[in-house]
Amino acid sequence: MLFSQVDLDYNADILQNYMENRGYFKTRTSADSISKNKRAKALYTVTTKKQFKIRNVSFPSDSTAGQLEKDIARLKRRTLLKSGNPYDLDVIKAERERIDQRLKNRGYYYFNPDYILVKVDSTVGNYQVDLRLVIKDKTPDEAKQVYKIDKIIVYPNYSLTNNQDSIKAAPAAVEHYKDFTIIDSAHTFKPKIYDRTLFFHRGDTYSRWDHNLSLNRLINLGTFKFVKNEFKPSDSLKNTLDVYYYLTPQRKKSINQTTTAKTNSANYNGAEISISWSNRNTFRAAEVLSVSAFGGMEIQVAGQNKGYNVYRIGGETSLVWPRFITPIHIKDSSAYVPKTKASLSYEFQKRIKLYALNNFRAQFGYLWKNNVHTEQQLYVTDINYVSPASITQEYYDRIDAADTTQKAALRKVIQKQLIFGPTYSFMYTNTDLKRKRNTFYYKGTIELAATITGLVTGAKASDPVTILNVPFSQFAKTEQDFRYYLKLNEKSQIATRVIAGIGYPYGNSTSLPYVRQFFIGGVNSIRAFRARSIGPGGYIDPNQNSNSFLPDQSGDIKLEINAEYRAQLYRIFHGAVFVDAGNIWLWNKDPNRPGAEFSNKFTNQLAVGTGLGLRLDLSFLVVRADLAFPLRRPAVTEGSPWVINQIDIGSRSWRKENLVLNIGIGYPF
């Protein structure tokens, strides 16, 4: 830029002002310039002395002042202005904002921070200042008054395009319910939803907290597309406000259809089509009824299970109420509307040439959020019934021909299973805070199956109790998923994850039911190993190198550790270097699977893999390709489980046996 465009005095004044705002009141600032060879430099000299610090802070007296001054005086205990701290104008502004927020929650609707004046006395000596908070003389009278709520008027069918028509109402369209006046000629919603959602009632003192809470709850109902409100002075009562809510509903009924393609490290490729129908106001109280159906297939193009394709069809019906449905009243004050959910689902899974499974599930429970970072689910009833069908002779022949190590695993898949009991999960995440350097994700789940039923019936595995001729499963299971993200800079980060899970079968069961067991390996797990091919423990499947059909490996205990360095390469292209480790184990010793049980030597049975990843990050969609290979195999017959010295990228046979390509949607964790 041209030096003639530089205003030396103006810039010097800015520096002077900045230093004074930080408490350096005796600062001297000067500006000069030098030029040489048609180039010029601006030189600014800032000479400071000691920084002024706060000696005393005085709030309005609560004995002789008006009500506003008294309320401000009561806020002194949590003031940001502390004796001994440096003078800082930004802290003073923050203190005014704090006081304004507190006053807004005490009814001072028309107050704002500019009405507070902080007088600074820098003549007290020894580089100290006294601060005195006062109310400006020109503060309007309405800002000094506490306001209460009078009328509450709700327009549930407000149109943004025909707003005047939405507001005009015939007498028949006006409905009074408790403290609310609802103007809705169609009677779209039952009035009780406003009593559950809005925190204002007639006669309440205005509160900014209740103001925002009501808006958040209306939005989180999921029924309204647009929500806004307005406060107007009452024309009948002094120091009161009438509040108006203008609500634009979403389309009541909708149909969505999605098609997805997927692949995994077990060489299965497939697609799934789903269609869902929703009614967002089923019983006129913002209930959401959803009905969905899906169909999909997975085909293995190469590998030991080639030809044994998997087909799935099913559906789910669910109903969500925007409240707690409980025998006792539970008061909720969260900005997020609690929900009660009931669902019924069915899935038919067919594995060609082998067997089919019918999976029925019914759930009833509660979902709620305390804040934007936490979410909890409690299903007081979760019933799961799995029944085999169409078991082929080929599958029976495989069981008969299998050795004792495989017979149990093959039989377990086609056993009838009945699981019921409560489940609970808690989730916390702050990964949405993009400016934080350290972010976390945590999800913990716990499931207690048939605990009371097992105690009442005295169930024991040696003589299992049945319901409808099916032995019910009795176990306790928990899984903990913890993730930590370290942001190195704007273009790179380190992501880590630890998953620990344990299931303890007891009473009526000696092992977890198949559908509740842990599996490991695959596109979102230990990527150097095929899906569900690791473990349990150090067990070695004698058929792992043959061409015969291999059942999935499962266990009662799981430990998985992942670390990944992610960096932006160029625009939407991102790269990654990762290391994965883990395994699964059995709780009880199985003579048919030696080495599969958990012991104090579990660290010697960890599978370890590493690799490189390339990701296409479109913000709304991430397409991922990870190429991985093993560093340590937990199941080896001889020699060291570490196979690092066997790495030979140039060998075709090594690449065929060890390189695993994982293609997925989204990041693995």
Mean pLDDT of the chain: 89
Instruction: Say whether the peptide bond before residue 388 is cis (omega within 30 degrees of 0).
Output: no
Place of tokens 């004046």: 117
| Residue 281, helix vs strand vs coil | coil
> For the segment 54-70, what is each residue's pLDDT rounded down to a tens digit?
999 999 876 666 899 99
Residue-level pLDDT at 434: 86
Residue-level pLDDT at 412: 79
Angle at 412 between CA 409 and CA 418, to 5 degrees: 155
Q: Which residues pair with 518 in a beta bridge?
A: 555
CA distance 540 to 360: 34
- pLDDT cut 90: percent of the chain above it: 64
> For the segment 222-273, what is each residue's pLDDT rounded down to a tens digit?
899 999 999 999 998 999 999 999 999 999 999 999 988 776 555 567 888 9
Residue-level pLDDT at 562: 98
Q: Would you say 169 and 156 are in contact if contact means Cβ atoms under 8 Å apart?
A: no
366-to-27, 317, 422, 554, 593 alpha-carbon distances in Å? 62, 16, 11, 30, 40
If one compares 448 and 8, the residue with the highest pLDDT of the two is 448
Positive or negative, the CA dihedral 251, 253, 259, 262 is positive
Provide the H-helix boundaries in 183-259. 192-197, 208-220
512 Rama sector, left if φ>0, alpha if ψ -120 to 50, beta otherwise? beta
CA distance 351 to 297: 10
47-to-24, 162, 277 alpha-carbon distances in Å? 10, 63, 71
Using the predicted structure, report yes or no on whether residue 545 has a pLDDT greater than 60: no
Q: Would you say 659 and 630 are in contact if contact means Cβ atoms under 8 Å apart?
A: no
- Model pTM above 0.95: no
Residue-level pLDDT at 59: 93
> For the segment 426-464, what is each residue's pLDDT rounded down to a tens digit?
999 999 998 899 999 999 999 999 999 998 998 888 889
Q: With bands split at pLDDT 50, 70 and 90, how would you rate the model's confidence at 130?
A: very high
Residue-level pLDDT at 530: 85
Q: With bands split at pLDDT 50, 70 and 90, how would you rate the model's confidence at 377?
A: very high
SS3 sequence, 263-274? ECCCCEEEEEEE
| Residue 90, helix vs strand vs coil | helix
If one compares 560 and 8, the residue with the highest pLDDT of the two is 560
CA distance 393 to 396: 5
Place of tokens 């202005």: 81
Question: Residues 552-579: what's their mean pLDDT?
Answer: 94
Q: Which residues contact residue 91 at a Cβ distance below 8 angstroms, ignoring those fewer than 6 apart?
A: 80, 81, 85
Number of other CB atoms surrounding residue 574 within 10 Å: 20
Question: Residues 576-605: what's their mean pLDDT?
Answer: 88
Residue-level pLDDT at 264: 58
Q: Which residues contact residue 452 at a Cβ distance below 8 angstroms, ignoring those fewer than 6 apart?
A: none
DSSP string, 458-519: T-BTTB--EETTEEBP-EEEEEEEEEEEEEEETTEEEEEEEEEEEEEE-TT-SS--GGGSB-
> For the segment 335-360, what is each residue's pLDDT rounded down to a tens digit?
899 999 999 999 999 988 889 999 99
- pLDDT cut 70: percent of the chain above it: 92
